[in-house]
Structure 1
Amino acid sequence: MSAAATPFRRLLLPAGALLGAAFVGIQFIRPPLENPPVTGDFQAPVAVKNIVQRACYDCHSNQTDLRWFDKVAPVYWQVAGHVKEGRTGLNFSTWQSLPPADQKAKLWESVNQILAGAMPLSEYTLAHPEAKVSAQDVAVLKQYVASLAKSPPADTAKLNAADRQYRHWQSNKTASTAVPVAPNGIAYLPDYKNWQAISTTERFDNGTMRVVFGNNVAMQAIREKRIKPWPSGTAFAKVAWDQLADAQGNVRPGAFKQVEYMLKDDRKYAATKGWGWARFKTDKLVPYGKDALFTTECIRCHQPQQHNDFVFTQPLRP
């Protein structure tokens, strides 16, 4: 051994001891992660339940099963954060507390997250390969979600409700009312009715049909193929109606359900991925959300489309 190597070795041993002590010390820094009681577990056919338990329950239920390597800091810190966030967005252990319509919506969203490759998290499946969702698993989940959205028969009451809503609008279209404002400060934009249609979509889980409108900035960006990312000033409005069938089987829009906005401003909305989010429900235009934190739900839903600047519905191509 050379004389130069000896001092290096003398430095290496204390450094290793210090790192070892630090590693042991951080094991005592442990954010709380408990499993609260299950108050209403997710119920589904066995094949569906098995997939959901295997792929989702560790982060999206009160039945988190930590492996030994999940308990070692600093990995534990990341795991605890994922579980906390996962339970906030979707908790299968309190599933029965959700109204049936919300259950369908959550399942629809979850399957779309899986299809987009956003869930389960890639870093999670790397250490937990059993949580990977195969093509066969996806087929089972899609079939189950589709079975929950059977086409409704002709609904005369809903058709009449839509007609009454339209007549009410016609008789009050000149009335002056206060403009509703979402909890994050974004006001309802009635001018969306003058924007151009970009695309259409539907939610088979809740029986609605939707049209996505874009303002002039959005339309120019489409013409110039500058949509990744969309320029600041872009505005979208997604308008939803009941999807109804009459006695002859003709599909038509029913009552107005809601309008949702996405407003692009990289500086103003930097904290919410560059987009301002807002939703106004029913013909009374009731702002959605108890406080400004409702945007967390919007971002979480759109996260799989971050490569498309968080926009799900792409423009129709000629």
Structure 2
Amino acid sequence: MKLKFKIVIGILSLVLLAQLIRPEELHSAKAQQVKRLAGVPEEVAKVLETSCFDCHSSQTSWLWFDRLTPVNFLVASHIRDGRKALDFSQWDSLATPKRNAMLYFALNGMLSKEMPLSSYTALHPAAKLDQNDIDLLRAYLLNTALSKPASTKSNSKGAAQSSVMEVKRSPNGIAYLPNYRNWKAISTTERFDNGTIRIIFGNPVAVKAIHEGKTNPWPDGTIFAKTAWKQEQGKDGSVYAGQFVQVEFMIKDVKQYAGTKGWGWARWKGENLLPYGKTVKFDSECISCHRPERDHDYVFTTPFDIKDLNKK
């Protein structure tokens, strides 16, 4: 009996001593109040504050059970990763396009059920999102995009002129692929945050994978080309493609691109097709944006459900 008592006392002592070992985030855990997001409707800001700010801003509220060792190290790790991917504390220093891109990133995380984490909402039920919350953010981003129609006229020059001009390689060495225009269109998307219409093309390897239902993971050799045009809105409410904005490529090669989640990333912007990125590590931005889709091989695109796509 005495031995059992000593063991219990010993375990309790170790637990108490462990509380002296805490992550740096907890040593400076005084939550810094983040200003209400400027330019965002109050109801939208409230959704973000309730469901996102604990992990995605300096306004972190540590509850008593969050502070216990070793739980606090797990919480601190989530906070570090969360702020690295998305930090609303930087809101006031960002231009409007980057603010909207941040909101779009948050919306993607919500739609893919990556944000907020289920392990977090289990202990913080107030942070749970319902469909009304998601629809509210989606509607705000859509209205923001449509309230700023493109001022340029429809122009497909950027997508076509590459055949008569020399296009520089991406900073990570990936070459521009002009033949993407001969590939199959496999999906379309709209970006609410920046008012663009996008068409995603897939090379023959991608089309074959879609036909065979082998898209998670996508096979080596898969290449996507995502083209974007400014979204124009006619007086009758119709929406059509305006000025060419950019083309992005995702190239699957697990060995060659092992350091970037098995994908090579590249982007060329504007009619002059200028390669995006100042250093070879620019693609870390791409990975960060696509991280919510890591369970789907880092691919946002949901291809058309066309069984005979590769025969057309």
Which bracket does the TM-score occupy, shorter chain normalised? 0.7 to 0.9
Aligned to 2:144: 148
Structure 2 CA distance for partners of 1:136 and 1:199, relative to 1, 3 Å: closer
State whether structure 2 residue 37 is matched by structure 1 residue 42.
yes
Q: Which amino acid aligns with 2:24?
A: P
State whether structure 2 residue 121 is matched by structure 1 residue 125.
yes
Aligned to 1:93: 89
State whether structure 2 residue 176 is matched by structure 1 residue 181.
no
SS class of match (1:82): helix
C-alpha separation in 2, matches of 1:48 and 1:251: 26
Kept after mapping to 2: 8 A contact 1:268/1:274? yes
Instruction: Report the alpha carbon displacement of residue 18 of structure 1 after superposing the two structures with TM.
Output: 5.3
TM-score by length of 2: 0.83
Query: Which residue of 21, 24, 32 corresponds with 1:32?
Result: 24
Task: Tell me which structure has the larger Cα radius of gyration.
Answer: 1
C-alpha separation in 1, matches of 2:200 and 2:21: 48
Instruction: Report the alpha carbon displacement of residue 293 of structure 1 after superposing the two structures with TM.
Output: 4.3
C-alpha separation in 1, matches of 2:211 and 2:132: 39
Q: Which amino acid aligns with 1:31?
A: P
After superposition, the C-alpha distances for 1:182-223 in whole angstroms (9 at most, x for unaligned) are: 3x4433333323322111112132111111111121112122
Aligned to 2:219: 231
C-alpha separation in 2, matches of 1:169 and 1:211: 15
Instruction: Report the alpha carbon displacement of residue 24 of structure 1 after superposing the two structures with TM.
Output: 3.7
State whether structure 2 residue 107 is matched by structure 1 residue 111.
yes
Kept after mapping to 2: 8 A contact 1:40/1:97? no
C-alpha separation in 2, matches of 1:178 and 1:136: 45
C-alpha separation in 2, matches of 1:41 and 1:124: 23
Aligned to 1:309: 297
C-alpha separation in 2, matches of 1:75 and 1:269: 34
Question: Mind listing any 5+ residue stretches in structure 1 that lack a counterpart?
Answer: 1-5
Structure 2 CA distance for partners of 1:265 and 1:96, relative to 1, 3 Å: same
C-alpha separation in 2, matches of 1:305 and 1:95: 24
State whether structure 2 residue 247 is matched by structure 1 residue 259.
yes
SS class of match (2:152): helix
Q: Which amino acid aligns with 2:153?
A: L
Instruction: Report the alpha carbon displacement of residue 269 of structure 1 after superposing the two structures with TM.
Output: 2.6
Alignment of 1:223-302 (within 5 A): 223-245=211-233, 251-302=239-290
Kept after mapping to 2: 8 A contact 1:265/1:274? yes
Instruction: Report the alpha carbon displacement of residue 122 of structure 1 after superposing the two structures with TM.
Output: 1.0
Kept after mapping to 1: 8 A contact 2:230/2:244? yes
C-alpha separation in 2, matches of 1:260 and 1:253: 17
Instruction: Report the alpha carbon displacement of residue 118 of structure 1 after superposing the two structures with TM.
Output: 0.8
State whether structure 2 residue 75 is matched by structure 1 residue 83.
no
Q: Which amino acid aligns with 1:236?
A: F
SS class of match (1:106): helix
Structure 2 CA distance for partners of 1:26 and 1:282, relative to 1, 3 Å: farther
Aligned to 1:216: 204
Question: Mind listing any 5+ residue stretches in structure 2 that lack a counterpart?
Answer: 307-312
Q: Which amino acid aligns with 2:49?
A: Q
After superposition, the C-alpha distances for 1:146-175 in whole angstroms (9 at most, x for unaligned) are: 33222555x6x5117x37x56x965x8434
Structure 2 CA distance for partners of 1:89 and 1:249, relative to 1, 3 Å: same
Structure 2 CA distance for partners of 1:174 and 1:188, relative to 1, 3 Å: closer
C-alpha separation in 2, matches of 1:298 and 1:245: 29
C-alpha separation in 2, matches of 1:267 and 1:292: 18
Stretch deviating more after TM superposition (81-90 or 265-274) = 265-274
SS class of match (2:199): strand
Query: Which residue of 153, 156, 159 corresponds with 1:159?
Result: 153
Instruction: Report the alpha carbon displacement of residue 288 of structure 1 after superposing the two structures with TM.
Output: 3.1
